[in-house]
Amino acid sequence: MKKEWFWRGGIYLSGMMIIALGITFNTKSGLGISPMTSAQYALAYALNAPFSTTVFFVYMVMVFMQIAIKGKDKSWYDLLQIPSSMLFTSFLRWFETLVHIPCHTFVERLMIALIGSILVGIGFAMMVDMKLVPNPPDGLIFVVSEATKKDLGLWKNIFDITFVILAGMIDLLSCGHLRSIGIGTILAMVLTGRVVALTNRLFQEKMLRKAGMCPAGS
């Protein structure tokens, strides 16, 4: 049992690190990043603040929104998203300073954005499959979906569009042009789900077995 939990926690944390690395690649490309982090990225530039700091701030808002929506159904488990977010933004801050990628041409920047989107998809699959603590954006989308009895995919699309609009507004107000959204944002929207599906097809069963999460006899 201890060995299985070691694998489960290890896969979860590895997925978290891979997501942080993927987001860092996206930011370094300068072609825009995934919708759910685009507003934080725009806010970081507008306030001249570290990107990891604005991500953590928005994540905390999302955690407390979940608690407010759940009302009497809230639990201590919801608060585990706080230390999880602290760890994630620490990884993000670390990669921000560690990763230096020279991007001299548009093709190079596009390749970096592509790699970033692929990494985010792989890491997301690893984290979700372990069924531990959700990241705050996914947790909030799930809670809103449950509260409204509407499709999870619908709310995912609504949140993505809302954050892209917010990022665009912040960019235009702070610098007069779009800086946080671009072709990299489109790549992230198109690729992430496909990469998650492919990762699960190739590795999900192996990961679940290592984590002791496969049904007996399977």
The CA-atom distances, in angstroms, between 191 and each of 34, 63, 115, 122 are 10, 27, 10, 11
Question: Per-residue confidence at 215, pLDDT binned at 50, 70, 90?
Answer: low
Task: Kindly tell me if the per-residue pLDDT of 216 is higher than 70.
Answer: no
Say whether pTM exceeds 0.75: yes
In this prediction, residue 218 carries a pLDDT of 52
Rounded to the nearest integer, the mean pLDDT of the chain is 90
Here the tokens at position 74 are 């809230």
Question: Per-residue confidence at 72, pLDDT binned at 50, 70, 90?
Answer: confident
**DSSP letter string, 35-102:** HHHHHHHHHHHHHT--HHHHHHHHHHHHHHHHHHHHGGG--HHHHTHHHHHHHHHHHHHHHHHH----
Task: Kindly tell me if the per-residue pLDDT of 20 is higher than 90.
Answer: yes
In this prediction, residue 179 carries a pLDDT of 87
Question: pLDDT of 76-134, one tens digit each?
Answer: 888 999 999 999 999 999 999 998 888 789 999 999 999 999 999 999 999 989 989 98
